[in-house]
Structure formats: structure tokens, C-alpha cells
Structure 1
Amino acid sequence: MADTTFTAADLTTFLGLEALGLRAVGQRLQDDGAVVECRLAVSLEDPFCRVCGAQGVAVGTVSRRLAHLPVGWRPTQLVVRLRRFSCAPCRRVWRQDAARVAAKRSRLTWSAVDWGMRALGAEFMSVSRIAKALGVAWHTANSSILSRAQQVLLEDPGRLEGVEVIGVDEHAWRHTARGDRYVTVVIDLTPVRTGTGPARLLDMVPGRSKRALKDWLEGQDEAFRHRIEVVAMDAFTGFKSAAAQALPDATEVMDPFHVVALAGDKLDRTRQRLQRQTTGRRGRKNDPLYKARRLLRTGAGLLTDKAWDRLEGVFADERHAAVEATWSAYQRIIAAYRAKTPAAGKALMTKIIDTLGTGVPQALGELAELGRTLRKRRHDILAYFDHPHASNGPTEAINGRLEHLRGIALGFRNLTHYTTRSLIHAGGFRKKLLHP
């Protein structure tokens, strides 16, 4: 008696050919994969001439070879037999319409392209590995998948809906001397503010200038520009000018990371200047200031008793007074961002800006420069405490993911490909790819 839990083998169902309108009629197994012969059902429109409307006569078949879903990571190729028809009055010859199976002139079925998109965007596979699994050339897989991604994911008219908070930053997309290495990345920070998900990449703009960001913002529709409430950015004044001109109603916020980094840079420059003044050379491993370079950049709340003793030993030297003063300002800025409440942090930062904005001795040149910058960007810095979720931290995190993407691909030479791959990789499409 037959086992009732099994049915006869059905290659059509196993390979998911029904969705393409195909029926498997034969197979040939090879060492490097499988070849499956298929038939495409004849539709009511296929036999009729599209010029005169007369019914054509069947005049044989023509085969089209297409890569399909890999089975067990072994390539599967479909040999699709398409019927040919001839129209006597028009002397036209045509074949069945295979648009349901694959795009015109494509070497991949729609199912294979969608599988490649999921592998690329959801499983973070390389194009080389996808091409090998499909049994096609790298350029064939890459062009088909990216074209499909452009249509399905990136040209979605609703992709920019609901965006209220954005972050902008520069990103080095390649590390070569030839050509422009930088792009401006635009990040959607709205999900971070609302707590509905992670930030996502919205777009990449060639260049890192005021013009690059302004052109992109002005290229969006008016409804999008009116929705933007906050723009988070670093200290680059070009981004601020672009946002102020293209989004006059939005609030510009200078990211805390870059404010702290700016103060830390002034601390490093002060230490290096004093190192040269006191020793006549650059720092060496046994020099007190050089040995304390990392310790000086550590937050005061993280210092151990041993670390405090080392710092006090450095500050005990009167020649290091400028380092101590700059270090104190650096720590106060960190403390403002670590305050228990935004109101308390804003009060501390206001006091710091007012103190450093005037009356800094000439001997503290780096600290005076810091004070001028803080005073110039006062409103942007203090705006963070009114919008504490408008941080460029998620923007930097996405930059890190893009670095990982470049590592997977072993680098990029084509910016269009890199932009599309980046949007698939970090544009919030993973959930859509896994659950279409």
C-alpha cells in the first residue's frame, strides 16, 4: 500500500514555476546544476496579430534559456519553449509574450531576480556569490538585480513620506586618488525620535558641499520640505547654509559628537603645542604629555584613582597650565551632554559658551578658537537640548554599515551601483525584502 503522506513528484510546484505561468515537462541533471525544460501556456492574445488582428498560424517553437532559483546552491537553468506564430496578411512572425516569466532580454527569471535582491539586501551576500549560485556572469546578475531594485524599492513614491527629522554627513565611498571620493549622505532620523525603528538611508549625493545638499533638498517636492522639522549635522558650515536656505522653517542641530570632537581636537592641539615648546620636538613614549594623550581624552567620570594620580602629576607642572585649562573646558562640555535632564544640560552648555566666548587669555589660543566656534554655532548647539533625539549618532552608525558593505564587495568603482547597493543595504528595505 502506498504511503499516503507523499504524493507524486511535481517539479513545477517544487521550482515555483506556477507563479511564472510555466509547466515543467522534462529535466536533465548535470554535474554543475540542472536544466529544466518548460512550456508557457498560450494566452488568448498570443495567436492574434497585434497589427491587423488576424489569427496567426503556429509555425514551430523557439527556446529561451533563463537562470532560475538555485536548488541546494546549484544553478538551475530553464529552457522555456515559446510558440511562434505567423500572420499571412501582414507577413509578421512573433512569439509568445514571456513578460510574465522574465524581463525583455533578461537572462534571469523574475523569481531569480527577487531571490537575488533578498540575498543582496537581507542576507548581505556579495554579487559574486549570487552570480555563482545562479550560474551567470557577475555583470548579468548585478545589472538585473540592481535594475529590479530600482523599480521595486527605490522608485517607490512613498519612500520619503513621513520624514520629519533628517541627518546629513559626508562619507568617503572610495579611497583612491582619482576622482571625487566623497558623497553627502541623507539619513531619516524620524524613527529614532518616535521610537518606531532604526534610522535609514534616504539618499546619497555626489560631493560634499553646500551646493550638493541644497540641490538635493530643492529637488524634493514642497510637501517633503515643509515636513522637515529638524536637520542634524556636523560643524561644516556648508550643510548649515544649505539647510537654512532650502528649509527655512527647520531647526538646525549641531550633533553632540562633533561638538565634543571639536573640543577634543583643540585639547590635542594644545598638548602638541606645549610638547614642542617644552621639549623642542614631537612627543616620545616617555614624555609626560605624550603618555597622557589618551588619558586626557577620557571622560572624568570614567577615570580610576590611578588615572587621576597620573593626571595630577601632569597638571603639577606649571608649564602644562594651558593643557589643564583646555582639558577642563573639554570635560565641562562632556558633562553638559551627560546631564540628567535636557534643561540642566542646556544651562551648563549656555554657561560654557558664555564663559569661553569672551575673556580667554591669548596664551590659550586653541581654547579661544573653540570659544569663537561655539559662540558662532550657539543656536545650533543649544537646539540639541530641545531636540535630544536629533543626534547624528545613527548617521555615523549607517556610515559604519556602508564601510562593511564596501568590504563585502571588495570596493566599488561605479557610484551609481554603490548608491543603489547602499540604499538596499541601509535604506530600511530588509523587512520589505524578507516579507514582501
Structure 2
Amino acid sequence: MAEPTSLLLGLEGLEVTAVTRGTDRSRVVDVVTADRRAAHCPQCKVASSSVKGHAVTRPRDIRYGDDPIMLRWTKTRYYCVNPACERRSFTESIPQIPPRRRTTTRLRTQIGRDVGEAARSVSEVAASVGVSWPTAHAAFIEHASKVLSTPKPVRVLGIDETRRGKPRWTRDVDGRRWVRVDPWDTGFVDLSGDQGLLGQVEGRTSKAVTDWLTTQSKQFRTEITHVVIDPSAAYAAAVTTELLANATLVVDHFHLIKLANDAVTGVRRRVTFDAHGRRGRKQDPEWANRRRLLTARERLSDRSFAKMWNALIDNDPTSEILTAYIAKEELRALLACAREDADDSEVRRRLYRFYTWCAEANIPELTRLAATIETWWPAILAFVHTGLTNARTEGYNRLVKQVKRVACGFRNTENSRRRIRFHCTRAQRANNQQFHC
């Protein structure tokens, strides 16, 4: 049985021979190899007792308390006694400290966890453990490779975009004029399983989506039954290609309600400018009730709703603001069919009420809203029947932005996507929670 100091160190295969304290309160731990397998040639696995010499290395290990600990490992070099082996000599090594490594395996594992699971920057973690940035980053790559793999087939695929950085201006190909470059990334999320973020590609075009789908296996594309997107024509064009012949397009209802809220805001601003020749101010009832106009009716108390309604009735002779508000609530009632499990006849009745109200109102903002709903109606009806949303995708977008803020931006897209996907992998987060419990 190992002596207590070796057990406290916890590096299997090493035995502590002495511990000394330096002037800077650092502790130097002298260790020797205690694993018999270290005397076996790593190539031919033949044990050797022919000593060539000794070497002293100082591998970095995890910290113990506030004062640093320095390992000083005295290793033995052996001649390989197997004449058939191409390797002439070798140096002792253990699983925790492989050959030519200056850090222990458990330190690299800790670095990988701190960078990936805690979403800390590489430079911060490297400084805290006393290693260089390349060493810390290589440790994270090693840790991430155990979690990240090729995406497995999914039933429901979510697609959404996130901004990769600030807009910038660059010269065009000919160098004659400046062109605005708005960097975006498109993410693909498993909405039906636990794989989380499946991948990212640069851009938010149809080609970006089709290129990513092409790189996946035929089985992956065939097993997709639904694809949930925002009302994006580029994404819709990519989803409706032959690559996803078995998939049904679904539009996220959150963005449809946002379009309705934008229509209400547009009507409110236009009516205010037509009446006063300026933007809304604190004394204007339509400006004072701007938040109530965007709040769902069931979330407003009767007193708050009556206050808004009466104020707009008395101060808006056109009644366009309340007309737009009612149109927004009619659209919400239509989309609520998914939650209420309404039958097709009820869906058609609510759709007719929404169209009729927008048509009779004859307000440009509501006309555009009704035209948008008509354009996307097949995908909206798919949402009503399935209730699928892109809420999980939006949640991952928040995690993506968190990783970008911690890193203060990425210059290498491969490193960026690895960090983001690792942090947005549900299996990784589940293992992390289990580890900390």
C-alpha cells in the first residue's frame, strides 16, 4: 500500500520521496516512478532493466490551496532490450503524464472543463493555472473532442441566425467602392432530442443552409420530418428543396406575434405624427399606453385595459390604433389554436375573422400583416397542428452570445464554432450537472 503522502498527491504510478518549501512559500514535491509498467517499451511492450540514464522533469499539476505546488519527477531512461524493436531507448511515463507532456492529464481535464463548461476565456484559465494560451487551448480541444461528434439523425430541426460581429465596411472585388459586410452565422439545433447545437455555418442564405445539409448523411436528411424557422424566405427556399423531401416547414409563432406588435407600433407612430406633426411624448395617451398596446389582453388587468381603451377612444378620432390592437389580438387567438388543440373548423373561423378585420380596417400596416400571414399560411398551419416552436433555438442563441462576450470576439472561425457548439451541447451540460451534484 502506498504511503500517505503519495495517496494525498493522488497521481497513480508516482511515489512521493520528499516535500520541501521554497522561499516564496511554494512546495516542491519530489516523486519517483512506482509503476512497473513504466519500464516496458511503449512500442514492443517488452520489460527492460537496462538503465541508460536519468532525467528530471517538472510537469505542471492542479493547484492545492493558495500556495503553488511544483512536481519534480526523477525519471529513468531505459535501453530497449528487444533486438527486433526499432526503438533504441525510452523514458518512463504513466497514464497521467504521457511521454513529452509537460502537464498532467487531470490538469488538462480541469482546463477543458473551465474553458468549455464554465464558459471562461482561454487566457483567463491559462493564467490561473500557470500555463500558456496554446497549452490551455490544446487541452480544451482534447476535452471537447470527447464530447463533440458527427450529428446523429434528428426528427425536428431548428434553424436560426445569430450575428457574429459588428458590421464593417470593406472594399469590393474591384476595389472601387465600399461594401457593408454584416457577418451572420446560421445555427442548426436538434429540437426533438438532446444533441443541442448540431453545427454552424457562415452566412444566413439558402446556399449556407443547403451546403450544411449536403455535408450530412442521406439518413440524416431523410429522417427529418419538420424544420422550424423564422419567417425567412432564404431558409424556406433551402428547406423546400429536394434535400429535405420528407420535411414539413413550420414557422415559429413568436416572430409572427412580433410582426403584429410591429404593425401596432407602426400605426401608433403614424397616427401620432399625423395628429401632432412630431413623435409621441409623455403627455400623449397613445405614447403613455404604448406598453399596454403590446401586452397580451389576458395579462392586462381589467382596470389597466379600461384605462388604455378609454384613453385611446377619447384621443384617437381615427380609431386606427385600437383597430390595429384588435387585429393583433385576433392573430394571437388564431395562433392559440395550437395550445388549445382546436379542430380545423375553429382554425378556419379564427383565420376568417382575422382576414375580415384586416380587410375592413383598410390600414396599410394591417394589410401588409395579412399578406404576410397569407404567404406563410401553410407553415403557420403546420405550427397550429404540431405546436413546434424555435424557443430552444433562441435559448441557444443566448448561450452563443455569452460565449462570444467571454472570448471578446473570435478571429478563428473553427475555434469559435468548437467553443460555441461545446457550450451548447445538451449532453455535455447534463454530464456537467451530474459531475457537480
Residues 292-331 of structure 1 aligned to structure 2 (within 5 Å): 292-304=289-301, 305-317=303-315, 319-331=317-329
Give yes or no for contact 2:206–2:234 (8 Å, CA) kept in 1: yes
Give yes or no for contact 2:27–2:68 (8 Å, CA) kept in 1: yes
Find out whether 1:132 has 2:123 as its counterpart.
no
Alpha-carbon deviation of 1:117?
A: 2.5
Residues 272-283 of structure 1 aligned to structure 2 (within 5 Å): 272-283=269-280
C-alpha change, 1:72 and 1:338, in structure 2 (3 Å) is: farther
Alpha-carbon deviation of 1:148?
A: 0.8
- Provide the C-alpha distance between the structure 2 equivalents of 1:260 and 1:385, rounded to a whole number of angstroms: 14
Alpha-carbon deviation of 1:187?
A: 1.4
- Provide the C-alpha distance between the structure 2 equivalents of 1:144 and 1:350, rounded to a whole number of angstroms: 57
Give the aligned partner of residue 222 of structure 2.
226
- Provide the C-alpha distance between the structure 2 equivalents of 1:139 and 1:321, rounded to a whole number of angstroms: 64
- Provide the C-alpha distance between the structure 2 equivalents of 1:32 and 1:244, rounded to a whole number of angstroms: 67
Give the aligned partner of residue 100 of structure 1.
95
- Provide the C-alpha distance between the structure 2 equivalents of 1:224 and 1:73, rounded to a whole number of angstroms: 50
C-alpha change, 1:92 and 1:221, in structure 2 (3 Å) is: closer
- Provide the C-alpha distance between the structure 2 equivalents of 1:124 and 1:48, rounded to a whole number of angstroms: 37
Give the aligned partner of residue 142 of structure 2.
148
Give the aligned partner of residue 238 of structure 2.
242
Alpha-carbon deviation of 1:46?
A: 4.3
Q: Which has the higher contact order (CA 8 A, sep 6+)?
A: 1
Alpha-carbon deviation of 1:327?
A: 1.4
Residues 28-427 of structure 1 aligned to structure 2 (within 5 Å): 28-30=20-22, 31=24, 33-40=26-33, 41=35, 43=37, 46-47=40-41, 57-72=50-65, 74-85=67-78, 94-96=89-91, 98=93, 100-102=95-97, 106-145=101-140, 147-155=141-149, 157=150, 160-161=151-152, 163-175=154-166, 177=168, 181-191=183-193, 200-245=196-241, 246-304=243-301, 305-317=303-315, 319-339=317-337, 341-344=339-342, 350-351=348-349, 353-354=351-352, 360=359, 363-388=362-387, 390-427=388-425
- Provide the C-alpha distance between the structure 1 equivalents of 2:327 and 2:203, rounded to a whole number of angstroms: 34
Q: Which amino acid aligns with 1:12?
A: S
Comparing 244-253 and 414-423, the one that deviates more: 414-423
- Provide the C-alpha distance between the structure 2 equivalents of 1:16 and 1:54, rounded to a whole number of angstroms: 25
Alpha-carbon deviation of 1:412?
A: 3.8
Alpha-carbon deviation of 1:346?
A: 6.2
Give the aligned partner of residue 15 of structure 1.
9
- Provide the C-alpha distance between the structure 1 equivalents of 2:414 and 2:89, rounded to a whole number of angstroms: 36
Give yes or no for contact 1:49–1:56 (8 Å, CA) kept in 2: no
**Which runs of no fewer than 5 residues in structure 2 stay unpaired?**
170-180
Alpha-carbon deviation of 1:213?
A: 1.6
Give yes or no for contact 2:264–2:328 (8 Å, CA) kept in 1: yes
Give yes or no for contact 2:39–2:49 (8 Å, CA) kept in 1: no
- Provide the C-alpha distance between the structure 2 equivalents of 1:292 and 1:116, rounded to a whole number of angstroms: 52
Give the aligned partner of residue 3 of structure 1.
none
Alpha-carbon deviation of 1:186?
A: 1.4
Q: Which amino acid aligns with 2:390?
A: N
Q: What is the TM-score normalised by the length of structure 2? A: 0.82
Give yes or no for contact 1:42–1:96 (8 Å, CA) kept in 2: no
- Provide the C-alpha distance between the structure 1 equivalents of 2:117 and 2:202, rounded to a whole number of angstroms: 26
Give yes or no for contact 1:300–1:331 (8 Å, CA) kept in 2: yes
- Provide the C-alpha distance between the structure 2 equivalents of 1:248 and 1:345, rounded to a whole number of angstroms: 27
Alpha-carbon deviation of 1:220?
A: 0.9
C-alpha change, 1:306 and 1:435, in structure 2 (3 Å) is: closer
Give yes or no for contact 2:154–2:223 (8 Å, CA) kept in 1: yes
- Provide the C-alpha distance between the structure 1 equivalents of 2:207 and 2:28, rounded to a whole number of angstroms: 53
Alpha-carbon deviation of 1:68?
A: 1.6
- Provide the C-alpha distance between the structure 2 equivalents of 1:420 and 1:32, rounded to a whole number of angstroms: 39
C-alpha change, 1:124 and 1:323, in structure 2 (3 Å) is: same
SS in 2 for 1:69: coil
Q: What is the TM-score normalised by the length of structure 1? A: 0.82
SS in 2 for 1:63: strand
Q: Which amino acid aligns with 1:381?
A: I
Q: CA RMSD in A?
A: 3.5
Alpha-carbon deviation of 1:308?
A: 2.2
- Provide the C-alpha distance between the structure 2 equivalents of 1:9 and 1:44, rounded to a whole number of angstroms: 20
Alpha-carbon deviation of 1:272?
A: 1.8
Alpha-carbon deviation of 1:298?
A: 0.7
C-alpha change, 1:99 and 1:183, in structure 2 (3 Å) is: farther
- Provide the C-alpha distance between the structure 2 equivalents of 1:328 and 1:362, rounded to a whole number of angstroms: 10
- Provide the C-alpha distance between the structure 1 equivalents of 2:162 and 2:43, rounded to a whole number of angstroms: 54
Give yes or no for contact 2:111–2:139 (8 Å, CA) kept in 1: no
Alpha-carbon deviation of 1:208?
A: 1.7
- Provide the C-alpha distance between the structure 1 equivalents of 2:390 and 2:279, rounded to a whole number of angstroms: 34
Alpha-carbon deviation of 1:324?
A: 2.2
Q: Deviations over 1:156-190 (max 9, x none)?
A: x5xx3352212111112334637653211111111
Q: Which amino acid aligns with 2:71?
A: L
Give yes or no for contact 2:359–2:367 (8 Å, CA) kept in 1: yes
Q: Deviations over 1:225-245 (max 9, x none)?
A: 122121111111111121222
SS in 2 for 1:419: helix
